[in-house]
Amino acid sequence: MAASIASHLTISAVERDTGLTKDVLRVWERRYGFPAPLRDGNGERLYPPAQVERLRTIRRLMDAGHRPGRLLTLTDAELVSLSRPRGGSVTDGGKGEAGDGDAPAAGGASVASLLAQATGGEAERLGHALAAALLQRGLPALIAEVVVPLLEQIDDARLRGEMPPFAERLCREQICRVLHTARGLAAVTPLAASPGHPPPLALLATLPHDSDDLPLLAAEALLLGEGMRCVSLGVQVAVADIAMAADQLQAAAVVPSFAAALSPKIAIASMEALREALPPATPLWVIGELIPRLRREPPGVTLIATVPDIAQHARSWLATTGKDKP
């Protein structure tokens, strides 16, 4: 045992070896469950050789242009496959996967320029650009073409240690503001369209250990735009409380969000528990960054890969069974 521990590296040694800062390693550990270091007698982190090698591979792929948020969800075999040259260079397929950062986003601005404003703490300019995108593009395009890629790049910049925490908070606050505005505008439509027959109600929440409300805001605004009513319970809500609210509010659909940091095993168990607590006929639409990491879809649960996809899903559902729901 002592010999095996001797081959483990401290967090300082891993930082020197891989070029990944200590803060980045801690953030990945907390959010993605990797790396998963051991602890010595003083509580200091010790990284096994296999984890250090995986970190080296991830760093090489990051340098080739791949997004760390996606790399950390891949298996070792998938990382090795991604590392193999395709068409002559590993970089050929890497930079495209994050989307075109120079594509026009808001009023002629690009996601890259929005990221620069966020990184520079230019909150007012960023807020104006996002508001312009909402007016010019509409809500679905704002979320799919601006908010989602911007959040991905902000996440990547933070994981690389290139964005100070205050800048990330400023950016997320501006995104929350424009989503609140969009939600307020969209909320008028469902009740005005059918005053004598309320549209079906969607109940939204995140589960315990998930404090990210951005997916809820985006999903709520999109569902309102499709003509549904929405009630959000907010973040970190117990399964039993979601089920009770669904019953008392007569929710036509329940939409929980799962963060990427949650263990897939725990997430599946939570989905199954929520499915068991709800009436069999109540749809359970699951959103969140965790979805790509799940290897299976629990019975009676619909996994929606990206938040923008929920609009099309709700539209199809409303066109069939959903239109008769209270």
Q: How many CA atoms lie within 13 A of 18 on its CB side?
A: 28
Pairing between β-strand 38-39 and β-strand 9-10 as defined by DSSP bridges: unpaired
- What are the tokens at 78? 């998938």
Residue 195 confidence (pLDDT)? 58
Can you tell me the distance from the alpha carbon of 314 to that of 312, in angstroms, rounded to the nearest whole number?
5
Give the Cβ contact number of residue 122 at 10 Å.
18
CATH topology of domain 198-324: Rossmann fold (3.40.50)
* Same fold for the pair 104-182 and 198-324: no
Cβ distance 209 to 184 under 8 Å? no
Architecture of the domain defined by 104-182: Orthogonal Bundle (1.10)
Residue 90 confidence (pLDDT)? 43
Task: Return the sign of the alpha-carbon dihedral for residues 173, 178, 183, 184.
Answer: positive
**Assigned CATH for 2-83:** 1.10.1660.10
CA 192-195-196 angle, to 5 degrees, is 165
For 200-236, what is each residue's pLDDT tens digit?
999 999 988 788 888 999 999 999 989 899 999 999 9
DSSP 323: G
Task: Return the sign of the alpha-carbon dihedral for residues 99, 104, 107, 108.
Answer: positive
Residue 121 confidence (pLDDT)? 73
Cβ distance 314 to 302 under 8 Å? no
Give the residue extent of every domain in the chain: 2-83, 104-182, 198-324
* pTM of the entire predicted model: 0.70
For residue 233, which of 251, 224, 81 has the smallest C-alpha distance?
251
Per-residue pLDDT of the chain (326 residues; tens, 9 = 90+): 444 677 899 999 999 999 888 888 888 887 777 898 998 888 889 999 999 999 999 988 888 878 887 788 888 888 888 877 654 444 444 444 444 444 455 544 577 788 788 777 787 888 888 898 888 888 888 888 888 888 888 877 777 777 788 888 888 899 999 999 888 877 766 555 555 677 899 999 998 878 888 899 999 999 998 989 999 999 999 999 999 999 999 999 999 998 877 778 888 999 999 999 999 999 999 998 778 778 788 999 999 988 889 999 999 999 887 555 65
Give the Cβ contact number of residue 243 at 10 Å.
21
Can you tell me the distance from the alpha carbon of 46 to that of 37, in angstroms, rounded to the nearest whole number?
5
For residue 306, which of 286, 276, 322 has the smallest C-alpha distance?
286
Main-chain phi, psi angles of 257, to 5 degrees: -115, 140
Contacts by 103-106, CB closer than 8 A, 24 or more apart:
103/145, 105/129, 105/133, 105/145, 105/146, 105/149, 105/150, 106/130, 106/132, 106/133, 106/136, 106/137, 106/146
Q: For tokens 């649960």, what's the residue?
A: 301
